Copies of this chain bind each other. A is one copy, B any other.
Amino acid sequence: MLNSRLKNVKKQLKENNLEGVLISSVSNITYLTGYVNFSKNEREAYLIVGEDFQYLITDARYSEAVKKEVAHFTLFERNHQNKIEDLLKSLQKRIKTLGIEEDNLTVVEQKMLNKYFKNLRHIEIGKHRAIKTAEEIKKIEQAAKLGDEAFKFILGKIKPGVSEQEIAFELEFFIKRNRAELSFPSIVAFGKNSAIPHHQTGGTILSDQAGQFVLLDFGVKYENYCSDMTRTMFFGKPSEKQKRIYETVLKAQQKAIDYIHSAIKSGKKVMTAKADEVARDYITSKDYPTIPHSLGHGIGLEVHEHPSLSPKAKKF
């Protein structure tokens, strides 16, 4: 499987007239090597792939693990004697144009590469990841299933007097007790806070007074694959206005799903911007303001992956 992924990258290089690519994004490194332990917060590894070579560049903190776990790649252990620059220099003659991930590589890294390769060009390695294998789909399904179980579990904890933080804490522990991780820090929002899409879960207490929206936005990461689930509930008796808001959103979502299903059924391409538009326009047609985010996104090794269902999205 990993080997066929590597073959796809090599094919993509050929199609793009590139003699090599430097891959810096952790998700693509994980996708191609199977190794999951590099940090996303600091740069700890690169891949360099060409027609007849593939290097994994990392340091001595990781080399023992990489030797054990990563096949198909030549390990280049960078250190003060063995610099990444030495490897780049040795590849200079074989690579006329080097592919880079412009949306991940930093300016300082680009400058370093530019010393050895005059021609750098963006290549979208991640797009392969949008098309999942059966094995990947199974992992995502398992992540989503555990998310459903966590949701059921947490419903029983939502009671007057509880704080957002406590609910987030219980949710996290449930997921971790089940040997999985969070896809991202859980968002729990009570009352007015639920109007802030990325509310910072805090000390707000669920009151037993007026009815309140309760928003949960959380995900499970199972064997490195993410689920992402947002649910809006109501605690107490909703007003007519609140019901109307909820039902408008639900209907908008259903309209987008219907559009996607019917496009697939009729054998047409699904236009991701169109899916967003169908939902967005329904909401504005009901005299609500437009939604402050895109409609949706793919999931996988990252919680946000291609395709994006947004006004800017190209067809997919």
Contact = CB atoms under 8 A, between A and B. Distances in A.
A179 B163 CA distance: 13
Interface string A274-308: 00000000000000000011000000001010000
A291 to B, nearest CB: 9
Contacts of A107: 100, 102-103, 105-107, 110, 122
B36 A200 contact: yes
Interface string A100-129: 101111111011000000000010000000
Contacts of A235: none
Contact of A104 (B63, B106, B169, B195): B106
Interface stretch (A54-62, A140-148, A150-158, A239-247): A54-62
Contacts of A292: 59-61, 63, 79
A31 interface: no
Interface in A157-188: 165, 169, 172-173, 176, 179, 184
A200 B65 contact: yes
A37 interface: yes
| Complex copy number for this chain | 2
A52 interface: no
A112 to B, nearest CB: 11
A77 to B, nearest CB: 9
A134 interface: no
A39 B184 contact: yes
For the side of the interface on A, what is the size category?
A: 35 or more
A79 B302 CA distance: 23
Contacts of A110: 107, 110
Interface in A10-58: 36-37, 39-42, 44
Nearest to A59: B292
A61 B122 contact: no
Contacts of A80: 311-312
Nearest to A198: B61
A135 interface: no
A172 B175 CA distance: 13
B79 A108 contact: no
Given A107-B110, A108-B103, A198 B293 contact: no
A255 interface: no
A40 B42 CA distance: 10
A80 to B, nearest CB: 6
Contact of A60 (B44, B105, B197, B302): B197
A139 interface: no
6 contacts: A36-B200, A37-B198, A40-B40, A64-B195, A79-B292, A106-B107
Given A60-B292, A65-B198, 16 more contacts: A59-B293, A60-B197, A61-B198, A61-B293, A62-B198, A65-B196, A65-B200, A79-B292, A80-B312, A100-B107, A103-B108, A104-B106, A165-B179, A169-B176, A173-B173, A173-B176
